[in-house]
A and B are shown apart, each in its own frame.
Chain A
Amino acid sequence: MKTRDRILVTSLTLFNEEGEAHTTTIDIANELDISPGNLYYHFKGKDQIIAELFHQYEVALSGTLAAPIEVPLGSGRGHVEDNWYYLYVVLEEMYQYRFLYHNLDDILHRYPDISRRFRRLMQLKRATLFAICGALTRQSVIDAEDQQLLSLVDNMTLVLNFWLNYDQLLYGQRDPQMTIHQGVLQLLTMVAPYLGEEQMSFYRDCENIYANMLAADED
């Protein structure tokens, strides 16, 4: 791996685990066992590293979020579950860059450029959830009035966007699987009232799995 890429990977790990605010370029250089001068040759400061990481995140998540807008998930194959699995994929991707969400206000305040692009990413999340819920309504998987649908989408966007922050405040660092799976379950909880009896089984499966994970975690 090139030094530049190694710097990015290590920075991401440190930001995620130690917090972005507490991590300096010196820490990053130390962790990599390179001189601060060498790091400076690739990035002129932490700002540049964060800008680059955010760009990576933006590109990756935008691509993922665009997928259900272009073509409804699981259409044609009758796999409604694909929509729920998809939420897992999105949360996983957000989890990779969780440092942004753990300290959102502060980071957005310090980096106005990222703030603007982050708002766009949030709009995209909303649009994606809108597309998913719209498709589910057309497929008669969920039964909701228009106004209900709009509120549902906003609520889901809210939970999706702040889930990682909420989870960290409540539990600190814990098994990523727990965080992500419970996030999906939480999103499903909001859709559940509009689901038919048939589709509820997936929601119950999710509940069971989460209960099992909790039990395993306590051992």
Chain B
Amino acid sequence: MKDDKNKVTDKAGEIAKNIWLAGVGAYGKAVDEAQGRLEKAGVEPPKLFRDLVKAGAALEEEARDALVAGQSARSSVEDRINRVRDNFNLQRPARGEDLLALHEKIDRLANKVDALTTALAEQSTVKPARKKATRKKAAARKTATTRKKATTRKTAPSRSKATARTAPGRKTTRKT
């Protein structure tokens, strides 16, 4: 009995896959472009949880920003399912297990906030002098190079008029 059922559902999966391949295989999965538009249909959560979620989102965003540099965004369908799940959980009447989860989340957030504040405190006491100096240096270097570029660019047209067809000659002048 059980085997039979598995066989049929496997076949069903196969059929589904074939329909998909035949019908829409030609199109890519550009779901991302729709995502922005979906955001505005987001559910308005109850006040009580909103601030907590906001705080959590801010912290998570910081953490994510660091990660995103290397990683590409995860499958957008999964992301959207998670978003709906979050919204759904906010609308659902709270239960014992939810409250437990919420407490855990609060603890985790509190720990994160503590860690961040200590990290900030350390940064502000130890590093500021050195950091400013390097920044200034970097800035100075930058302006110097841009100035150089500007001058070469300015002089370039007049020279190129004279040596319009002698490209190699132009190259050497730019180098110096």
A contact set with B: CB distance below 8 Å: 56, 58-60, 62-67, 69, 73, 81-82, 85-86, 88-89, 92-93, 95-96, 120-121, 123-124, 126-128, 130-131, 133-135, 137-138, 146, 149, 176-177, 180, 205, 208-209, 212-213
Contact = CB atoms under 8 A, between A and B. Distances in A.
Contact of A63 (B31, B92, B93): B31
B85 interface: yes
Given A126-B19, A137-B5, A177-B43, 6 more contacts: A58-B24, A81-B85, A85-B88, A92-B41, A124-B23, A177-B41
Nearest to B12: A134
Nearest first, the 8 closest Cβ-Cβ pairs linking A and B are A63-B29, A60-B34, A127-B16, A63-B31, A127-B19, A67-B77, A85-B84, A120-B23
Interface in B32-80: 33-34, 37-38, 41, 43-44, 75, 77-78, 80
A127 B43 contact: no
Interface size class of B (residues with CB under 8 A): 35 or more
B24 A66 contact: yes
B16 A82 contact: no
Nearest to B8: A146
A135 B91 CA distance: 27
B13 interface: yes
B123 interface: no
Interface in B118-159: none
Contacts of B33: 56, 59-60
A180 to B, nearest CB: 8
B84 A137 contact: no
Interface string B88-107: 10011100000000000000
B16 A209 contact: no
B13 A62 contact: no
Contacts of B85: 81-82, 85
